[in-house]
Amino acid sequence: MAKIKVGVITVSDRASSGEYEDLGGPAVRKAAEGHGWEVISETIVGDDKEAIQRAIREAIAKDCGLVLTTGGTGIAPRDVTPEAIREISDRELPGFGEAMRMESLKITPNAILSRNLAATVGNALVIALPGKPKGAVECLGFVVGAIPHCVKVVQGVPTSC
């Protein structure tokens, strides 16, 4: 299989308005490239379901087999990334969120509040990571082993399973 093509979406009202510098997206990009993947799409959107969904669809239209969002997975009223993804998903993959929370709980008790998840949207795997750069990179690392196989299956590449 060719290199996994990745879209990175930062979900943040403040970063999208220029109130502060986006640190989550660049951290996720660096982590993705460190896994040997090719980041071909990057964007910043506000905490808005329609904007998140549009950004996901645009990344998939650019041939991203993996879309990584960072931000909007907490419990604040504006945190709507999981809902946005669920509304356009074909299948939710609960093991990803469970693994991210389980491993994150070893680091911080607040991980129990995280609503990280993964789902398939068309022929792509979409993973919602935390907004804090360190947490986003850690959570990606907790599930990285399952990503290549999942992307292959979603894209219809024959596998041994």
- pLDDT at 161 (0 to 100): 61
Query: CB 18: neighbour CB atoms within 10 A?
Result: 9
Q: Order across the sheet with 5-11: list the strands.
A: 38-45, 5-11, 66-70, 124-129, 117-121, 91-92
Answer whether residue 14 shows pLDDT above 70: yes
Q: Which pLDDT score, from 0 to 100, does residue 158 have?
A: 79
Q: 11 near 45, Cβ under 8 Å?
A: yes
User: Domains in the chain and their CATH numbers?
Assistant: 5-154 (3.40.980.10)
pLDDT at 78: 95
Q: How far apart are the first and last CA of the chain?
A: 15
Eight-class DSSP state of 113: G
* Confidence bin at 56 (pLDDT 50/70/90): very high
Look at residue 104 and tell me whether its pLDDT is greater than 70: yes
Reported as a single tens digit per residue, the pLDDT across 110-130 is: 999 999 999 999 999 999 999
